[in-house]
Amino acid sequence: MQNQYVGAWIKGFYNVANYALKHQVGMEQKEAERKWKILKFWDKYGLEATIEAFGVKRRTLFDWKKKFREGKGQMIALNNRSTRPHRLRKRNYPVKLTQEMRRLRKAHHNIGKEKLHILLKEFCEKEGLKLPSVRTIGRLIKDAPDKMRTVPLKLTSKGKVKVPRVRKKPRIIKPKGFKAAYPGHCVAFDSIERFVDGTKRYLITCIDLYSRFSFALCVPSHTAKTAGTFLELVKVVFPIKMEYILTDNGSEFQKEFDETIRKAHQAHWHTYPKTPKMNAHDERFNRTIQEEFVDYHEDDLLEPHHFNEKLLDYLLWYNGKRPHWGINLLTPIQVLGKFNHECNMSWPYSVSNFDEISILDNGFKPLIIRPSQYQKFTTETGKLPDIVVQAWMEIWKMTLQDLGGERAYLADFEIYDHRAMNPLEAAVDIYIGVKG
């Protein structure tokens, strides 16, 4: 005869089934029906007659009535509840006894509780301790975090010691109905796999759920270490601190990637297995970047460095000029510009002085830059925003002598004046705050 397990491939099916059997959801227990009939009898013939007819105490009847009322008149509210005590007794046995149990279990390779009971008899007589029963020994073994169990060390084919499997820590799932309320509230990560002439190439992508600011990088392998390095790069590129990180359950988003998140005291959310709709924003960005860029530069994937140089130009256009339906045909940079954020080493505030009065009249708030010592750098004349990006890349590489001192990180800003009126032939002044 062949056994068929109904619902074996449905996640959580047996938990729901066990709950239904335990609480008999949708069924009327005989005991609950008996209590309901007694309550009806009470309403019809009074309290004294009910006590005399059924032999139920007065306070019990009022307790049933309270439960029935709190259960909004449903008979399931009258089911018998658990009688398990709230405070349980704890087993408190001498440390010497548990240490001897552990020693015997290690010396005789996880020996069972029945045999352990016999071996402990001599030790207990010598130490003047009470010999626990077989059942108590089993409970003491179960109470131990490692179950007093030892695992033999095994070697791999290369002579290395196999690390025993450790039970995985429970992963935090993205809350149902979550909606990002501000930039950096949640940043989603994912990866794309492409085959070019029999060679695998990977794109690690990320997107800020609120502003739609996105970033991507081509890598030859998608290990956890590579993803961790990508996360550090995103922290430099993205101007706002990330609060929650959302990924799927891929191996590249574990170990080093997860450690990087925990070091920054950020929460790492996961999606359910085989549920890409929980990471819909980044999945849509994956499709967009493939349709608009990767499909037209597939041959460049064989040289990731060359591919990433072209990809950077696309990402500058994607974040700075491309309208997005999800943010009312604005660009991610425009959305980020509406929020004041802390100055970090990569992103300054931008100040324009084309027409100060008209800007303030249009609803913009003036930005006060605190007095400090600044070093001025002027970009080459060229196309915006390429000249600004190139200037900042050179600034990041400068030594303390080139900068004129250690950076203060109080306020770095750019000034776009009349020289930036033509975006094809523009020049911008960059002011870097340094410590005096």
How is the chain split into domains, by residue range?
24-78, 95-143, 172-325, 343-434
Q: How confident is the model at residue 9 (pLDDT cuts 50, 70, 90)?
A: low
Buried (b) or exposed (e) across 347-358, using 16+ Cβ within 10 A?
A: bbeebeeeeeee
Q: Name the more confident of 135 and 431.
A: 135
Neighbours of 130 (CB within 10 A): 10
CA 394/CA 389 separation, integer angstroms: 9
Neighbours of 296 (CB within 10 A): 12
List the one residue out of 330, 331, 336, 340 whose CA is nearest residue 366.
340
Nearest of 128, 130, 140 to residue 91 by alpha carbon: 140
Q: Is the pLDDT of residue 310 over 70?
A: yes
Residue 246, beta-bridge partner list:
188, 269
Mean pLDDT over 181-209 rounds to 91
Q: Please give the Cα distance from 147 to 1 (Å, whole number).
A: 37
CA distance 155 to 164: 11
* Window from 22-31, 123-132, 266-275 with minimum mean pLDDT: 22-31
Using one digit for the tens of pLDDT, what is the confidence trace for 224-261?
888 888 888 888 788 788 889 999 988 878 887 888 77
The yes-or-no verdict on residue 36 having pLDDT over 50 is yes
Instruction: Band the pLDDT of 354: cuts 50, 70, 90.
Output: very low
Q: What percent of the chain has pLDDT over 70?
A: 85
What are the pLDDT digits (tens) for 65-74?
A: 998 888 888 8
pLDDT score recorded for residue 357? 33
Residue 361 reports pLDDT greater than 50: no
Report residue 363's pLDDT band, with 50, 70 and 90 as the boundaries: very low
pLDDT at position 166, please? 67
The pLDDT of residue 7 is: 62
Q: What is the mean pLDDT of residues 115-127?
A: 92
DSSP letter for each residue of 191-210: EEEEEETTEEEEEEEEEETT
The second-level CATH assignment, the architecture, of 172-325 is 2-Layer Sandwich (3.30)
